[in-house]
Amino acid sequence: MTVRTQLGNSDLYINPIGLGTNAVGGHNLYPNLDEEVGKDLVRTAIKNDINFLDTAFIYGPERSEELVGQVVKELGNREDVVIATKGAHKFNGDDVVIDNSPAFLTKAVEASLTRLQTDYIDLYYIHFPDEDTPKDEAVGALQELKDVGKIRAIGVSNFSIDQLKEANKNGLIDVYQGEYNLLNREAENEILPYCKENNISFIPYFPLASGLLAGKYTKDMTFDDLRKDMPHFQGRQFEHNLDKVEQIREIADDKGVDVPHIVLAWYLTQPAINALIPGAKNPDQVINNLKTLDVTLTEHDIERIDGIFKKQA
């Protein structure tokens, strides 16, 4: 069994390499997803000691949670798996609004429990902030659910630094999830230092910049999914980013590993980041990403990578 890391002040201990599951039944994000492959990603993860699964109501919507729940039930080892899910999206017909009200979050947790076929959710995040609900009140509702055993830890995602501070007024936040990768380092300005000071685990999403930092894309590639609108994937910027990835390949070759292992290992050297949730499209990627845990980066490596992807102001 590999090393386990603690999420914030919670009693959750996880493999630092988890699995992001927005490509498990996330039909609204990726067209033509095969659900059997999605289930196999989850199965492969759990069978290879990856015990941290990251899902959300909105992936599908609903379908990712359902498929994750099916596989965990099939394998029969619920207590060995740490399931994180998220809610805040409320559908009114075809319209979707963000709602952090205590009443909505309470209902959202119940609905996630049903889809996941479980009695408790290990980590529940408010997925996005709404404009109206005081954030400590929203978190208070989750604390009540924690008190009755429906969730085990509280997280927030996509909150600004001020919203995070308000949410954490009573010290109840264990995990913050936000976009962070070598191409988007804004979180280094305020959110990462705040998480470090307050013993909140920061879990970066899009750690591989949706695949761009995994080292296999070429400049002639085009995309028909959520990547087609992402800034990192546009024209000259895309080419420039791929040139940087080639510099990472030199470090990877020296160590006998692949590009994603170096990229993922670098995050784990950052203060407050102790767990990662790379996504995957096939089971080989799930297993491959575990090699990250074999990488040791020297101070020189860390600075070199920092220099290649210079910090944004």
Binding site for ligand NAP (CB under 6 A): 20-23, 54, 157-158, 177, 205-211, 214, 216, 260, 277-281, 285, 288-289
Phi, psi for residue 85 in degrees, rounded to 5? -140, 175
Give 60 or 207: the residue with its C-beta nearer to ligand NAP: 207
194 in active site: no
- The position carrying tokens 């996509």 is 158
Give 113 or 280: the residue with its C-beta nearer to ligand NAP: 280
Give 284 or 303: the residue with its C-beta nearer to ligand NAP: 284
Q: How far is the CB of 258 from ligand NAP (least distance, A)?
A: 7
Give CA torsion, residues 169, 175, 180, 182, to 10 deg: 120
**Residue type for position 65:** E
Catalytic residue among 30, 59, 205, 267: 59
Give 9 or 288: the residue with its C-beta nearer to ligand NAP: 288
Q: How far is the CB of 299 from ligand NAP (least distance, A)?
A: 25
Find out whether 251 and 265 touch, Cβ atoms under 8 Å: no
The DSSP result for 121-155, as a single string, is EEEEEE-S--SSS-HHHHHHHHHHHHHTTSEEEEE
Find out whether 53 and 21 touch, Cβ atoms under 8 Å: yes
Q: How far is the CB of 157 from ligand NAP (least distance, A)?
A: 4
Burial of residue 25, with CB atoms counted within 10 A of its CB: 0-12 exposed, 13-18 middle, 19 or more buried: buried
- The position carrying tokens 């407050």 is 272
Which position's Cβ is nearest ligand NAP? 279
Find out whether 179 and 206 touch, Cβ atoms under 8 Å: yes
Q: How far is the CB of 25 from ligand NAP (least distance, A)?
A: 11
Find out whether 250 and 300 touch, Cβ atoms under 8 Å: no
Nearest to 283 by CA among 80, 42, 72, 75: 42
Give 5 or 288: the residue with its C-beta nearer to ligand NAP: 288
Q: How far is the CB of 29 from ligand NAP (least distance, A)?
A: 8
The one-character DSSP state at 87 is: E
Rounded CA separation 264/256 (Å): 15
Give 16 or 279: the residue with its C-beta nearer to ligand NAP: 279
Q: Which residues of 272-308 are buried (b: 16+ CB within 10 A; e: fewer)?
A: bbbbbbbbbbebebbebbbbbeebebeeebeebbeeb
Q: How far is the CB of 80 from ligand NAP (least distance, A)?
A: 20
**Catalytic residue positions?**
59
